[in-house]
Structure 1
Amino acid sequence: MKKVLLTGISGYIGQHCAVALLKQGYAVKGSLRSLKKAAAITAIIEKEVDPKGKLSFCALDLLSDTGWDEAAEDCDFLMHVASPFFSKIPKDENELIKPAVEGTQRALKAAHKAGIKRVVLTSSMVAMLGSVSGDEHIDQQSWTDVTAKHATAYLKSKTLAEKSAWEFANTHGMELVTIHPGPVYGPSLSDNLSGESMTLFKRILTGQLKQMIHASINMSDVRDVAKIHVLALENESAKGQRLVVATDRAHSYQEVIQLLKSEGYQRVSTSMAPTFMVKLLANFNSEMKGMLPYVGKKYEADISTTKTLFDWEPIPFKTMILDTAASVSTILAKRD
């Protein structure tokens, strides 16, 4: 039985990865910042799959050396999903960059010391945005220019963390696969709506979000993201690949709200924010400033390599959006 060290198991993507791994017969050792969360995460996972004694936990922190070697020593693979995220621009960009880069280095060093041959790393399409000027065609060779005008701390953190992973893997002869989703949606396995994806849909469905920004990008279903993470563990052809896992084409956020409105979500506002106004407000609002890499822009990604390697077709955009809305609506109904 092969065991996977899965960092960030408590997160939106991490929970789906844990379920997908267990369904495929892998044992999972999930990392948490505090083991106090272990019982709650176990209960969430058990709703989807019987772990059959193959689920365990360890305490790890991206900014601490403690426990990494011990966590990796009995594992066959590393799936490094954990990464910091802030929707607002932090006052000090190193609040994001430091844990992302240092955490990645700690994870890979521990994996190398333990003799782990392959690492699957969760990167992002935001590490592939080129000059961050929009109308970019994204493929496996694309990298975000971290010196670009609108390169935010989050974009820099994902790009620099991934570059550090490739440098380490190439230096030490490790097999590395990086997974690059766009904005990730799809059903939540927990009742937690605090993550970026769930918060956005909560605001849309309750009418709290009065205006949507003009922006287009390939979007990703969390179930596809988890599936490709798992398939990449042992697919020989995946070695050394940067794999985009997203819809076939870019979709706009205007499409999202119009679809929801047409499907009976009456509180959804279909008003669009003028791009010039968002850019103006970004001078005073850190959350608006975080939107500048996307507002008024389109990013189109090539997913052909991922489709070919795994004989995979992405979950349709309409299914992804409506399943997300249904999931969030169910959670909100429980709270009423």
Structure 2
Amino acid sequence: MNNQTVLVTGISGYIGLHVAAELLRAGYQVRGSVRSLKKENEVRETMAAAKVDTRNLSFVELDLTQDNGWIEAVAGADYVLHVASPFALANPKHENDMIVPAVQGTLRALRAARAGKVKRFVLTSSVLSMMGSMKTGSFGPDSWTDTEAPNVSTYTKSKTMAEKAAWEYMADLPKEDQFEFTVVNPGGVIGPPLGRNVSGQTMTMVGDMIGGKMPMVPNAAFPMIDVRDVAKIHLAAMTHAEAPGKRFVASLTEPVSFIDMARTLKANGYQKVGTRIAPNFMLRLLSFFDREAKGLLGMLGMNLKSENQTTRSMFNWEPTPIKQSVLETAVVVQRINRAQAS
């Protein structure tokens, strides 16, 4: 058994559940944050169904927009993995509804980590903070998004601004208060959910595809990664001696197109999947009426490679093939959707 304690914020989310499961399997004491302790039973049942021992799992109630409880939540923790962040593909009516919780929540977690004298803090950011308004070429750990560029989604802004605020906070710390800090930047996350919640953006998209609700797909290719790989990279970023002070690209080298995903599903028996590419003008027209379509505008025509060499070599990481991720996601999403409909 490992006596080290890890605070995982956003433990009930898609990524948070997988990260916590990885830590528990490795023997860590895991303290998970939820917005309401009513979520505790759901998380424990999800872990139990995945055959994860929860005897080393405890919970704290935290809100990204409130100061209450943060200092107490970090007290005695050796590490903090700050996974929690508001997410939606659709642009909100007021962008600060997403940006403020992302930035202030990150700073609250960092201030608590400072007070608790943790050994290392791992921030879950996104490749969106690197690739911004780029369309072609490649991006890597030295790349930063221009949040003022046209068609940059609110979610992209929130991740970029939160990560920049974190690096600035760490740079300004006096020497006596310093602790180790590293960032994981996942691409679009796919892979089977640990629990029965398929309301996440990727699972919803796969569900819409296999259910015939998405007759056309956007003309875009996006850096992707399996959620189980994301969890493993978080653990490596938390423990590897050379990880502090670095940003880790967590995505496949080659981008994954929406049309390739659709064709993979179609070729494997999901006959309702639409395999036509939506004309760009159609999404631009829809964006005047639909906030989710507007959130997609910045991705139109995108085809970017990721420079993930450092992540692969330092952590000895071999990415899960995207075909496997897509098909295993579809199996679970279809099973859950059918169970909920019956």
TM-score (norm 2): 0.96
Please state how far the C-alpha of 1:276 moved relative to its aligned partner. Answer: 1.9
Partner of 1:118: 120
Q: What's the secondary structure of 2:216's corresponding residue?
A: coil
- Who is 1:146 aligned against? 147
2:305 match: 300
For structure 1, list consecutive stretches of 5 or more residues without a partner in the other structure. Answer: none
Give the whole-Å Cα distance in 1 for the aligned partners of 2:242 and 2:49: 33
**Which whole-Å CA distance do the structure 2 matches of 1:221 and 1:254 have between them?**
18
Please, which moves more after superposition, 65-74 or 163-172?
163-172
Cα distance in 1 for residues equivalent to 2:226 and 2:54: 27
Structure 2: distance between partners of 1:63 and 1:305:
34
Asked if 2 retains the 8 angstrom alpha-carbon contact of 1:2 and 1:75, the reply is yes
In the alignment, is the contact (CA less than 8 A) between 1:16 and 1:223 conserved in 2?
yes
Distance in 1 (alpha carbons) for counterparts of 2:11 and 2:208: 25
Deviations 1:1-41 (A, max 9, x none): 10000000000000000100001111100000000110111
Q: CA RMSD in A?
A: 1.1
Per-residue deviation, residues 132-177 of structure 1 (Å, max 9, x unmatched):
0411411000111001011121111000000111111222233111
Q: Are the equivalent residues in 2 in contact too, given 1:19–1:49 (CA < 8 A)?
A: no
| Aligned amino acid, residue 111 of structure 2 | K
Distance 2:119 2:193 in 1: 31
Q: Choose from 22, 26, 29 the match for 1:27.
A: 29
Percent identity of the aligned residues? Answer: 43
Return the alpha-carbon distance in structure 1 between the equivalents of residues 326 and 85 of structure 2. Answer: 24
Structure 1 match to 2:327: 322
Corresponding letter in the other structure for 1:142: S
Question: Which of 199, 204, 229 is matched with 1:199 structurally?
Answer: 204
Return the offset for 1:52.
5.2
1:46 paired with 2:48, answer yes
Q: Deviations over 1:202-252 (max 9, x none)?
A: 100100111100111221100000110011111011111111111131111
Partner of 1:175: 180
* CA-CA distance at 1:121 after TM superposition: 0.7
Aligned to 2:157: 156
**2-structure distance, mates of 1:170, 1:281:** 43
The alignment's TM-score, normalised by the length of structure 1, stands at: 0.97
Give unpaired runs (5+ residues) of structure 2: none
- Matching of residue 15 in structure 1 with residue 17 in structure 2: yes
Q: Name 1:237's counterpart in structure 2.
A: 242
C-alpha distance in 1 between matches for 2:329 and 2:52: 24
Counterpart contact for 1:18–1:45, Cα < 8 Å? no
Q: Report the CA distance shift for 1:22/1:49 in structure 2 as closer, same or farther (over 3 A).
A: farther
